A and B are shown apart, each in its own frame.
Chain A
């Protein structure tokens, strides 16, 4: 197919052709190819448009550090911003380029490039300020968002990811030369070891370059496969391939993401990726280094690539991006590329080095001379030129003369940086190395060992010494690895960050951050404007932001800044490297906690009955509660609630109250404990009676309410609100353990052990007498607010006479496994009396008519019992209870506190709404003083009109006066402030 193939490559399976589509055109690659290597095979060099100026961009690297080559994978739920340099192709893969319209070749957005002189650093901050504050949100932001940016978010999405936990002694990050040697030395030791590598082939630099000729007299490939086999056969080492460590947290907690479908289409309903959460005693970072680029005019043109990346395409992927390339370097890292090129017979068109001849490695110098490669020492590239691809470069040689070289490819090397991201995430300290011109790990904060180039140790001859010194803590046998190299063993570099162009025009662009289109000019401008702190500079210019986090360029920016400020790089400092190392999808983080598993659903024991009887459900906390029971499809919620409420008031209704929290409290000091937790006094209560009780926070505000049943002084059962159960139990535990450990008291949740059915309505007694014929339900035998234990067909049940509706009512507590049996009996026996199930909405309406509050709806954490008019619930004679002292704080005794009142519209046809503000003036003039707001509002079928509860300032003294409710349309509704009770004020029904 393509003459760019290097078919002697062992990693690419040239017999297995793979078809894929890029921007709608079909191409072929081979098994093992990344998108980038496959496209380069097809001589495609233009891959995307840049973020801000829409400049044409090509593949700059061959790995995770790639700033340009981000693509959208259409065939995988349209996954955006995928790095083409690491994503492997598979048959039928569909890929699209990003940030271009209408096409990659002709992109309208590239007009931004023409306007670039008006897009300086901080452009958005400076420009889009006026003329009106809404302009940003309504006009600028949507347009900019469309024009600038990365891929499009996927429309449809189904994440299939899982989490795995590891607890190991040692984790080795990076399975390159050093990682393999370290792992090999740990074979069959007492340590459990994880070896993690991002590639599917271990070996790192041995695979990616021709630096090493032989290891222990074996070819690198033979040595790797033998070593990997030994490691795999060991009992104590596990290898994770295709796994990227993204995060290094405190206490050696690593997070790594494993791609389960490398080079194949992810299967639906199969785990696509695994998030590994690793706890380890020791971390060995042998994750290598990253090459950096250099800044000169148009250093972003397609056809410019980093030296080691070019070599990696040749060695690892069997493709040569160009047969005639020029090499430009300021360091020794380019040597192995030149070696590889010559070995393969594609000698470079020219070699340009900013160093003088005597500083260039002698072997490299000889190699260039011997092969008649034009050599420019002491020379720099002034600029690169071309239309959508590199066509020529200008080189300033040692004499100052400028030479033009026609070429379609240029390889760059600006030095190498240890990959310190994980090390700094772990809070390790870095130090600037003036000789190697890079930040190197200096002092670890956690049990971390860095090895090889990840530790800034760039000398191949020092590998044995370093490993033996640093791994001595594990008591391993000293390793002795014999390396033969094709290139010099040491790293040498001369300072060069940026080459200034021949002529500085407003069109000159010398990039410092390719992904965010930041130029060196932007850096200069930001500094001249005073943004000379590196963290400010980063935010102001967006330098080293984005998905690549400036992996190939952030150190260059520090170099330029330090020169501009005339400071040492160490004084400039670096910006902090935060996790993750590279973007990972939310799907992977979410794991199984997505969709229906995001939050557990809690269901009443008779949930299925509700479903088969057509209930519409409401979420209350994690609970699913029947909201209302429509008789048919056409009945609206309002109609159903009116019908259900009317039925309770006229006949009887039954509510599934199983979700109410139930806590059992036992112990010798249970009475004393309950007296401290709740506002009420339980001392004089007789066993077998119950009481409505309030629980306060220490600040005196109502926290929860419920009914407390006293079985004896040593045994209570408390109910809580559905949403408050866990908090109340937690609070009881906290005080029992921390404040009053001297009290003998134990508590436990019995919420799920018992179902609760609330029957209420005038005909309740007829029904319940039929269901439980052996129980005497007369007023004398079973008065209001008492409870009794009974047996029902061998099932122990508890019946409590209480009411949340204002009608006479009973609550039946049944063990959950017997719940359905009794519920069905109640329903069938109640039929002749007109008994109907009702849902939470009807319950809310009925309790509001009676003026019963709902904690969390009528209260909001700023309401005291006094504000609710519930003074009678406070055990004033008690010495102490939660929040007691706060009830006489200056704030809680204020006269103008918001207090609970009832609200009725003067015109009975008017409708009120929850959340409406109560004001004094008929005309809304701004600002108008707001008295408070409506907390509950319903249409009452019994009253025949709207009514509401509200909390308003000084409300209790305003009862009997008129006020206004304001609507969002700025109209007002005249209302009357009344007592917060609308039904059976004399409480005759409760005790009937």
Chain B
């Protein structure tokens, strides 16, 4: 269970929020000139990286506001939260030490974790 720092309400439990998938996906303009491929990618294709991920959250059981978040999906660490109209933070502003695949031992998974 994450603690998410809503930019409007402050830190709250994850159960108050809903995840909205990848952030900064530009909705193509509605005119018909867009090709099937471009539109199809907007509708159906989303990134799912291991590591740093820009994603959207909504404080659905709170202020109902949408905002963006940068989370490391391999450690679940929230690196930054910013409002929807704020600039997307640059990838190299985050230290991403996680190697993909992330250093699991060859044998056994019990002792496996991601080294920060």
Contacts and interface: CB of A to CB of B under 8 A. Distances in A.
A741 B20 CA distance: 17
Contact of B108 (A250, A572, A577, A881): A572
A535 interface: yes
B47 interface: no
Contacts of A424: 110-111
Interface string A877-897: 001110011101110000000
Interface string B80-116: 0000110000000000000000000111111111111
Nearest to A445: B113
B30 A573 contact: no
B108 A535 contact: yes
Interface residues of A, number: 42
A127 interface: no
Contact of B107 (A251, A573, A884, A886): A573
A445 B72 CA distance: 14
B107 A572 contact: yes
Contact of B40 (A279, A739, A884, A889): A889
Contacts of A445: 113-114, 116
Given A730-B60, A886-B43, A250 B1 contact: yes
Contacts of B114: 427, 445
Interface in A402-433: 424, 427-430
Given A250-B1, A250-B76, A738-B84, A576 B31 contact: no
B9 interface: no
Nearest to A889: B36
A533 B108 CA distance: 6
B109 A889 contact: no
A745 to B, nearest CB: 14
Contacts of B107: 533-534, 571-573
Contacts of A535: 108-110
Interface string B21-52: 00000011111101010011011100000000
Nearest to B23: A738
A350 B34 CA distance: 87
Nearest to B1: A253
Interface string B1-29: 11100000000010000001000000111
Contacts of A250: 1-2, 76
Q: How large is the interface on B (under 10, 10 to 19, 20 to 34, 35 or more residues)?
A: 35 or more
B1 A573 contact: no
B108 A429 contact: no
Contact of B3 (A279, A699, A730): A279
Contacts of B3: 251, 279
B76 A738 contact: no
B66 interface: yes
A575 interface: yes
Given A249-B1, A250-B76, A737-B65, A573 B34 contact: no
A738 B64 CA distance: 12
Contact of B66 (A427, A429, A733, A884): A733
Interface string A720-753: 0000000000100110011101000000000000
A880 B58 CA distance: 25
29 contacts: A250-B1, A279-B3, A279-B13, A427-B113, A427-B114, A429-B115, A445-B116, A535-B108, A535-B109, A535-B110, A571-B107, A573-B105, A573-B107, A573-B108, A573-B111, A574-B108, A574-B111, A575-B108, A575-B110, A733-B66, A734-B20, A734-B58, A734-B66, A737-B84, A879-B30, A885-B30, A885-B32, A885-B34, A890-B36
